[in-house]
Amino acid sequence: MKNKRCIVTGGCGFIGSALVRHLVLEEKVKVLVVDNLTYAGVPESLKEAGLDVDDLPPRGEILMPEEGPGLLIADICDTEAMARAFREFRPDTIFHLAAESHVDRSIDGPGEFIRTNVMGTASLLQVSLDWWREHPSFVFQHISTDEVYGSLGEEGFFTENTPYSPHSPYSASKAASDHLVRAWHDTYALPVRITNCSNNYGPYHFPEKLIPLVILNCLDGKSIPVYGAGANVRDWLYVDDHVKALCLVNEKGRDGETYNVGGHNEKTNLEVVKTVCAILDDLRPRADGASYESLITYVKDRPGHDLRYAIDPTKLMTELGWKPSQNFETGIRKTVEWYLSNEWWWRPIREKRYSGERLGKG
């Protein structure tokens, strides 16, 4: 990544902010964050990388300080704003992470997912194509999800050749964006790389998602909702391991290729919830002496809830030499410890943006 200039869309989100922190603090590259600052865009996630959250630029104006990441608050569907960002920042690559990403919210309001994830990706692809024709070393990197593959049975893994079979408005919109990226490569020869990852977890995770929701509900003494019997299985990937994979793919990956990123950490949702409860029992015991497990409440399952996801990351590991540094046991404890130590970050979100209410009832 040395000397590259990188645009990161969705850089104030969970995975995006982790990538920006890594690029700025570890890779020492120049970064422009493009984020629309919708409900899940949290500029405070970039304070560690040097963003001055008390002096954010007006919408549509590019902030480009000498140190730390730059910021453009804009909608990726605004093609003119995106083209201006390319002209002014002059990127060598773009990491495209901007997306509506919560399955439950896609059930309640699919239109915004189609607009941002499909139309926004198309907008960026066209701007990138125009830029690449003048700057042939440019690379478009698209970050996607394992949910595009649908649901697995009790055995087997998703590979890069698994047929797409999305079951929610969210996964369908991401599948469509993946197809668009491939189409721009196959039709126009735009250099692209696609990654599909398993469930991420770690610091700065917006509290609508399972793990931070469980942690914060425990700390607030609220019930912990578990869908159905909690038997749905997910493969968990520590977010810092994911962003290192993204940089490897950008640096060494082959144009037009897909790379699956997974942690080989399959857990049922109930196992995840009980693990978080046990760690909190150890680190922050309840005043009444009861286990946090007593807060678990089983609720009606999510519509179209896929049974199992599991990624085979062999291609990424053998071709590019990636391997995760965290297993679930080490990563989940680090995650719980981070939330216990960083109430400054999550408490305002919990009070002003999302308090833990049930979403996605259909």
Which residues are catalytic, by number?
146-147, 170
Run of H or E including 133:
helix 120-134
Distance between alpha carbon 138 and the CA centroid of its chain, in Å?
A: 23
Residue with tokens 């189409």: 183
Q: Residues 276, 122: contact at Cβ < 8 Å?
A: no
Residue with tokens 């060494």: 252
Q: Angle formed by the axes of helices 210-220 and 343-352, to 10°?
A: 90
Which among 148, 147, 296 has a CA at the least distance from the CA of 213? Answer: 296
Residue with tokens 């929610």: 168
